[in-house]
Amino acid sequence: MLITGDDAAIEQLVPGLQENQWLEGSRTVLIYGGSLTAEPDREKYTALRKLRRGRPLDGIVRVMPASLNLTPQTSDSDLRGLEKISELLRYSAPVWLWQLCDSAWSQTTRPEQAVGARFPLRAKPDDITAS
């Protein structure tokens, strides 16, 4: 899994990933991807493509801080970064958006639950608001 986003958000979600560039545990490898607005590291993505030709990545996670409002401009900029990565990999990996959030009350005894939505291929704004 490639983890992208701003460095502070990535560090909050996966401490040590930026420093080490990759982490492994429970049969999962997390790879530091950095900001989607930065020029992608051609050498890194070429190496990933050669390592696993059919499917170089299982997916890409775009980590967003709680303060980020996902505007059309931000989405478009992220899309351009993802397109550059896809070109280098010669593969279009699935993408997950992960927004970090704070809670006003303690969550220590609450069971962890993933919350998300699936969108159809080439989703339009109406598809997203309906989810």
pTM over 0.85: no
For the segment 94-128, what is each residue's pLDDT rounded down to a tens digit?
999 999 988 788 878 888 777 777 777 777 878 77
Contacts for 84-90 with beta carbons within 8 Å, 24 or more apart?
84/39, 84/40, 85/2, 85/33, 85/36, 85/40, 85/45, 85/60, 88/40, 88/42, 88/45, 88/46, 88/49, 89/45, 89/48, 89/49, 89/56, 89/57, 90/49
Q: Which of the residues in the chain have pLDDT under 70?
A: 130-131
- Full set of structural domains in the chain with CATH: 2-103 (3.40.50)
- Residue 61 is predicted with a pLDDT of 97
